[in-house]
Chain A
Amino acid sequence: MPLMGTKNYRHLNKRLNRVDSADKITGRALYAADVKVPGMIFGGSLRCKYAYAIIVEIDTSKAKAIPGVYAVLTAKDVPKTQSWADYPYLSDGTVRFVGETVAIVAAETTDLVEDALKAIEVEYEELDGVYTIEGALEKNAVQIREKGVGLKDGLPDKDKKGNIFYDSYYPIRKGDIEKGFSEADFILEREYKTPFVEHSYIEREACVVMKDPDAGIVTAYASAQNPFFTRRYLADAIQAPFNKCRVVQKMLGGSFGGKEELVGLMVGRAALLVMATDRPVKMVATREESFMESAKRHPFNFKYKAGLTKDGKIIAWEGTQIANAGAYNNQTQYLNCRAAIHSAGVYNIPNIKTDTYGVFTNNIHSGAMRGYSSPQIIFAQEQFLNEIAKEMGIDEIDLRRKNILKQGDLTATSQKLTAETITLEMIDHMVNTTEYYRKKEEYSNTHKSKEKRKGIALVSCYRGSGYGAETPDAGGSLVTAIEDGTILINTGLAENGQGLKTAYTQIAAEGIGCTTDIINFVGVDTHSIPDSGMTVASRGTVMGAQSMRKASIDLGTLLRETAAMLLKTDPDKVDIDNNEFYIIGSDGKNKVSLADVCNTRLWTGKAMAVYNWSEPGDLGIDHHTGQGDAFPTYSYGVVVAEVEVDMETGFVDVLKVSSGHDVGTCVNPDTVEGQIYGGIAMGQGFGVTEEVPVNKGQLESKNFDSYIFPTSIDVPEMEAVIFECDDSAGTYGAKSLGEPATEAVGAAIAAAVANATGVPVRELPCNLERTLLGKSLSKGGMIK
């Protein structure tokens, strides 16, 4: 069995305490809201309470008259209202979601900021908007964005007006769908839905922006998941050149895809206030503001139709996947590329026709949240697979074994899986170690109970590693040796809590051959290194670290050359151990320290650093058919969930989740396990409790009193199973894990609930009513 532990590395595949833990454990770590600079004042945003309205008049005179209030800015006071990425810094006169910013203020204290916000008078004229996917697609729906398009023959059409975000439309056309269905012995069609979900990182968005002649014009210290992406907002808001706008990432208190748009907008707004007041400005979102303006996981409506032969081979798959993009959006076009590529699951299906697109609605925008569409689509697909198995009377594991992608198979985009693919071994291992069939039998004895019933389910999935066809997966790293024999590593990718600093330290140590304790990771400062793209798509290790691997190997070669010169031998006769170079086979007598080597290089004028830029291989899909090589490789997951459902209350107790992942090469088992455990908890929330309820655009949860995610008492027993395989595409053979760790858990729990209750779950979360009835009573009347 390809379990972790058979690979031969000096520093990879080994436990290492996180390099940033000590500062976090002692409270020394400084996050953006902890930054304080001389002369600092505070900023705040006035947010609209309507989902769709015209601003008739704004009167800021009373706010401006308050002593200690230094600036009150509205659309007319700023160079541009709309950011480079669609989202508004300030409303252009029409507000399109609850929470849209209509004015910003800067004042001496946070109390005065509140006073000033209260003193601004705004007159609105409310409009009828669209709030749901169904409402946005209605024939006579109000068109809320000029760029929205309509449907023609059921598909997005550029020449029609409507609410579809055309750039987010991705079709997949593989084989002959009509032929596939005509040859099918069994056909089933089902619909599924998922809600808005909040990232719920514990750190709220924060920044301090200040004029900084050393940097050029301004420096921003920010809780930025992607500092270079944030720089785009900073430079854009004040219309300044990028090379004079500096963003420094502070320690980041969780992000999961969320600290992108709102942090960019907040930094942009703070910069506008800095330019207006000439004072450093701090902005920190309240939790309520964070809920209102940070991106949410896209709600999706799914419709799938599958055709199978009588022995259970899926030969035709048709689907429509529609995402709720919210009022403004610059994410759904990338997200839906991924959603389309994965629209037929982890299955080998010859004939596929799917259409994926997003619609604009008068809601908070949807964006990236751990999975980037995968938790939603895996939920829908895996419930569908189980419904098929039940209707056909075949075993649900057999159905998966019969159809799952294997080495040599073609994916939905007709990409041939050339690398080792261990899906069948993973299923077998998970079935055996969880005692799936024994428990299924045992739990079935509870299925007539009117009190508590138990259920078990297995789901399988895969995920393209890194950016793939979404956008070029390139990046650069700088590895610098210093005269005392220590090493600095620097890259454009960021530590967001996931453990990137630690993984990169291990990867750099592997390349150089030195120990990990002499390496220091420079935090991201946009003035110190080129942009390496965003720290997203679980790309940090698999693709982002390729340049770190290459740069550290190259630096190691340079250091060995100098060591060989000092040892009067050839470089290929020299190796390194415990930061000492030695002549191989010399019993450790001929040695020179790394410090001496570095010092010699400095004083002989030799290069002390290597910068490597790593470009991905050729990838891309045809936009009309979705066919082509979509990703460098794929991560595979098999997750088993066990639940107990209280049939009187609908309460779902998640008993155990066993989560198996093919990570290619496990860089650090501690951090891999941490990702898997955290992914289970986040997936449990997605499956059972988490939903940001929206009522005509109004968020009905804005803090953790009503938005419920698992506490230490709620989480299940957890089992992390780490598989490795032979796949050379990623850094040292590593594959993505951050998103895979959570993407199948909600699906597995929902399927286990369906097993326990006998009622299929077609909408998340499995709250009390849905668990018992398969539908929500409180949402019985659909709001259009």
Chain B
Amino acid sequence: MSGKLIEIRWHGRGGQGAVTSAELVAQAAINEGKYAQAFPSFTPERRGAPVLAFNRINAEEPIRSRAEVYRPDIVIILDATLLGILDVTSGLKDGGTVIINTKKSVEQIRAEFGINGRVATVDASRIAQEAGIPAVNTTMIGALIKATNVITFEGIKEPLERRFARVAERNLKAMERAYQETVIRE
């Protein structure tokens, strides 16, 4: 049963929208007929301080665990300045994926922070800025779709519209561009 369960940990700073990202991803998965959870790290959050959010997704079975996520399959980092101060790969499963918003190449990230295994990078800050959206959280969902198959663009549309109404289209465009520009190294 646990083989089909995918756990995601989002790293961001308060105000960057990590919790919203997790929420949108869960809603997308649920719209696709899957089972999913999204939850924040349950701490009093402050703008700018490191925050966590989580997803559990299971394509086939209802999710029962309500414990914390200890062994994520996927880690997503919305803010590269967290790389130097946190062990972002803590608990990451063997064969797991790390997705980072950074200007740097995967090779530079490996050399500088010693992150081995499957790594995906994208300059989501630039993409979001050029798209005229104030946060990278939705843009990074494009990188998640590229690097994994946990959700699809089809599934994310409705939650995006529900959440962002008129600016949903702009977020979707940034997401699609991030999908194109994400570089993955095994």
* A and B physically associate: no
